[in-house]
Amino acid sequence: MIKTSDRKRSSVWRMDLLIGLQESHHDKKTYSTWLAEQQLGKSSHDGGEESTAISPPQSSSAIILTQCSTIMAATELVSALLLFLLICSSDISSGEKTRRPQPCKRLVLYFHDILYNGKNAQNATSAIVASPAWGDKTTLAVPNRFGDVVVFDDPVTLDNNFRSAPVGRAQGFYLYDKKEILTAWFGFSFVFNSTRLKGAINFAGADDIMKNTRDLSVVGGTGDFFMTRGIATLMTDAFEDDRYFRLRVDVKLYECY
């Protein structure tokens, strides 16, 4: 015969076991509930009634993973957008750097140089004032005239005709400064004294003679060209051996006062 105390202990044990099973199988019960709801929805759908699919319950880990994936996707999108903006701004900056302003004044002039050769003192407009030890002052040195320094006072005209009335003088010097190729360095001024132009424009820079066109810097000026700045593009318009050359000078000024 079972005692009353034993019956009470057995009832308590069964109750604890039931509670434990309920707690341990909570997720299974939840899933069973969801499965029953899905079956109910399917039966309703088969009967011709509209049903809304019910998503299975998500655990906290799944929710965290979903949130992390969303954050990572948003971060990648922001990074791509920033990279796109950076590339666009770089293209705009490079475009602004390559864009050049329009000159405020432009002149196209010619100057004519006749080098003294020992026989043409009356017509010469330039002369060798320094030469290397192996050279002399009536012929340009070999190779490539290296070491010669020439001072000139050449007429400046509005066209390429040597006999046209000059509007000024090109006064300064050029020196040949490289052995391997024919190149020179210029420092001179266009000095004007006419009814059209007054004052001076000053030039300086390297003249790579073998190129079709080359640029010198306009470094200043006086009179009508007070404190001017710009670029002068040189082009050899004609030459005769070492005795004569004519330069076309396209002067573009970007600072005018």
Encode pLDDT of 111-125 as tens digits: 999 999 999 999 999
Write down the pLDDT at residue 78. 80
DSSP, collapsed to helix, strand or coil, labels residue 162 as coil
Binning pLDDT at 50, 70 and 90, where does residue 94 land?
low
Binning pLDDT at 50, 70 and 90, where does residue 57 land?
low
Location of structure tokens 């066109």: 213
What φ, ψ does residue 64 adopt, rounded to 5°? -65, -45
pTM: 0.62
Mean pLDDT of 53-77: 67
Write down the pLDDT at residue 251. 98
Beta bridge partners of 41: none
Q: Which residues contact 164 (CB under 8 A, 6 or more apart)?
A: 157, 158
Considering only residues 13 and 231, tell me which one the structure prediction assigns the higher pLDDT: 231
Sequential DSSP letters for 26-92 = HHHHHHHHHHHHHHHHHHHHHTT------PPPPPHHHHHHHHHHHHHHHHHHHHHHHHHHHHHHHHH
Beta bridge partners of 187: 173, 204
Write down the pLDDT at residue 69. 73
Mean pLDDT of 167-181: 95
Distance CA 247, CA 233 (A): 10
Considering only residues 21 and 81, tell me which one the structure prediction assigns the higher pLDDT: 81
Domains of the chain by residue range: 1-57, 58-99, 105-255
Binning pLDDT at 50, 70 and 90, where does residue 183 land?
very high
Considering only residues 88 and 97, tell me which one the structure prediction assigns the higher pLDDT: 88
pLDDT in tens, 206-221: 999 999 999 999 999 9
Considering only residues 26 and 221, tell me which one the structure prediction assigns the higher pLDDT: 221
Q: Which residues contact 256 (CB under 8 A, 6 or more apart)?
A: 104, 105, 228
Mean pLDDT of 61-65: 66
Of 27-31, 64-68, 142-146, 233-237, least confident by mean pLDDT is: 27-31
Give domain 105-255's CATH superfamily. Allene oxide cyclase-like (2.40.480.10)
Mean pLDDT of 28-51: 54
Distance CA 172, CA 125 (A): 11
Q: Which residues contact 152 (CB under 8 A, 6 or more apart)?
A: 113, 125, 126, 127, 170, 171, 172, 173, 174, 188
